[in-house]
Amino acid sequence: MDVVKSWRIHVFALVIVILTELIGTKKITLGPATLLFLPMLYAMVIGAVVSWPRLKLLKLPEMKASSAALGVLTFMLITKLGVGIGPAIGKLLNSGLALSMQELGHFLGTVILGLPVALLLGIGRETIGATYSIDREPNIAIIAERFGSDSPELRGTMAVYICGTLFGAIWLGMFAGVMASMNIFHPYALAMGCGVGSGSMMAASSGALQAAFPEMGKDILIYAGASNLLTSTIGIYFALFVSLPVTEYLYKKLSPIIGRGPIHQAASKGGTN
Amino acid sequence: MKITEYGLMLLIAGVMAVIGNKVGYSPTVPVGEAVIGYLIMVAITLVGIGVQRVLPFKLPIVFWVSIVAILSTTPISPIAKTVTYYTDKVAFLALCTPILAYAGLAVGKDLEDFKKISWKIVIVALCVYTGTFIFATMVAQVMLHIEGVI
């Protein structure tokens, strides 16, 4: 797989970028919320259509090369965010406590919302792998090592990983845009929320905020960038040493109460709980 | 992947980012300045990747790229003003569009696996992303108030 030599994907990407940037950002107001449609979101959708296997426009190695290209380009976003942070270091230290504490929200928010929903939907041990983290590449390794490559936990992680690749960015981009339009949270707080530790999801959500609050664009990138830096460096250790044990504990405690899967019913009938 | 491959890939996407910058976000910025800004960011990114490779202990590339980028514009850096001036000319959103275009072009490879996933896990996945975003935002909101920033 040679990323640079897969010239067809670059031609497709170039055409898609020109087309979507010409269309530009569109807003649709729905009651109190505004849906923000950014060129990058159309770009993802058009790209997905081009790569649709039935159309046979792209071959599998080309799709893999696109994925590798995505990985390389994410570092440019990190650089762009970093050069914005440099001059604002002093300003960031003023909100140092907020910046460090909100990481707890990033690390545990996946479990707090995801775990009860998974149990109510009747999902079994997949719940642990699915909800203990945002399930990007490093998180897969943790679960594979802990539970083995043929475990339900790893299936859960992989499922969320695939969903993230397919529509994580679009979802968070739209969601962040809606939250921005509702005036519940300060743009700085939302910006920190964007640092979820996935390049494409961070790009889509902080991009949406920037489009919603153009006059605060620079500050938004500073806070989103700093938060993302923390999430992606500390996140892996926190996931391993805190989030995973916490998720396992909560699963053990909560699944007999709100779990609906066949395993839980059997267990409660057996009187083990 | 070789450093040269990283560099070439960043340059290919640079063509798209500079076009997008002109068409979509910063029509008044001269293309030449955006090109310089983009090339500076390519240099910073490659230095970050290089640092990660030569160091004996392993931290994520993201970390080193961030550190090099931040150091280049902190007040102690002699090139801070130049780097800030030119990199400011490239809009963040102009960098995002090519990235998500490639993300889209990669979608086909995961579709077969996706078909095997239950709709229930899809809902859980959306809750996972929403949860991490919204809980961090909530904590940040409270703490920023306490610190008097907002």
DSSP B45-82: HHHHHHHHHHSSS---HHHHHHHHHHHHHSTT-TTHHH
In this structure, the number of other CB atoms found within 10 A of the CB of residue A176 comes to: 30
Q: Assess whether B90 and B131 both reside in one domain.
A: no
A30 to chain B, closest Cα gap in Å: 20
pLDDT tens for B74-127 read 999 999 999 999 999 999 999 999 999 999 999 999 999 999 999 999 999 999
The answer on B89 and B26 residing in a single domain is yes
Partner B contacted by A82 (CB < 8 A): yes
- Say whether both B89 and B130 belong to one domain: no
Distance CA A107, CA B135 (A): 9
What's the full length of chain A, in residues? Answer: 273
Q: Name which of A14, A56, A73 to mutate to probe chain B: the one with the most chain B Cβ atoms within 10 A of its Cβ.
A: A73
Q: Would you place residue A108 in the very low, low, confident or very high pLDDT band (cuts 50, 70, 90)?
A: very high
If asked whether residues B57 and B8 sit together in one domain, one would say: yes
User: Is residue B106 located within the same domain as residue B121?
Assistant: no
A252 found inside a domain: yes
Handedness of CA B50, B9, B71, B140 (dihedral sign): negative
Work out the average pLDDT over A81-89: 95
B94 and B131 share one domain: no
Residue listed under structure tokens 């909530």: B138
Is A225 within the bounds of a domain? yes
Per-residue pLDDT, averaged over B21-50, amounts to 97
Q: How far is the C-alpha of B7 from the C-alpha of A76, rounded, in Å?
A: 11
What mean pLDDT is reported for chain A? 92
- The answer, for A124 touching chain B at a CB cutoff of 8 Å, is no
By C-alpha distance, the chain A residue nearest B142 is A98
Q: What is the pLDDT of residues A216-268, one digit of tens each?
A: 999 999 999 999 999 988 888 999 999 999 999 999 999 999 987 655 444 44
pLDDT, average across residues A26-31? 90
Residue A154, min C-alpha distance to chain B (Å)? 13
Residue A53 lies in a domain: no
pLDDT-above-70 percentage for chain B: 100
> How many domains does chain B contain in total?
2
pLDDT band at B58 (very low <50, low <70, confident <90, very high): confident
Residues A48, A49, A53, CA angle at the centre, nearest 5°?
A: 90
Could you give the CA distance from residue B96 to residue A199 in angstroms, rounded to a whole number?
10
Report the pLDDT value the prediction gives residue A13, as an integer from 0 to 100: 98
- Among the partner-chain residues A4, A17, A105, the one whose CB lies closest to the CB of B16 is A17
Give A150: exposed, middle or buried? Use CB within 10 Å, 0-12, 13-18, 19+: exposed
CA distance A271 to chain B (A): 28
ipTM of the complex: 0.95
Q: How far apart are CA A85 and CA A226, in angstroms?
A: 7
Tell me which residue range forms the domain holding A259.
Answer: 73-269
Residue A122 reports pLDDT greater than 60 = yes
Q: Which residues pair with A35 in a beta bridge?
A: A28
Residues of chain A neighbouring B139 (CB-CB closer than 8 A)? 98, 101-102, 104-105
B60 lies in the same domain as B75:
yes
B28 shares its domain with B95: yes
Residue A269, pLDDT > 70, answer no
Q: Are residues B69 and B131 in the same domain?
A: no
Which residues of A fall within a CB distance of 8 Å from B60? 138, 232-233, 236
Q: What is the pLDDT of residues A169-195, one digit of tens each?
A: 999 999 999 999 999 999 999 999 999
Are residues B75 and B19 part of one domain? Answer: yes
Residues B104 and B124 in one domain: no
If one counts the domains in chain A, the total is 1
How high is the pLDDT of residue A265?
45
Residue among B110, B129, B149 with most chain A CBs within 10 A, to mutate? B129
Residue range of the domain that includes B95: 3-110
| Residue in A14, A43, A10 with CA at minimum distance from that of residue B19 | A14
Mean pLDDT of the region A43-60:
96
Buried b or exposed e, range A207-232, using 16+ CB within 10 angstroms: bbbbbbbeebbebbbbbbbbbbbbbb
* Cα gap A167→B125, rounded to integer Å: 10
Query: DSSP letter at A37?
Result: E
If asked whether residues B121 and B102 sit together in one domain, one would say no
Nearest to A201 among B10, B13, B129 (CB): B129
Decide if A24 is inside a domain.
no
Residue A258 forms part of a structural domain: yes
Residue A272 neighbours by CB distance under 10 Å: 8
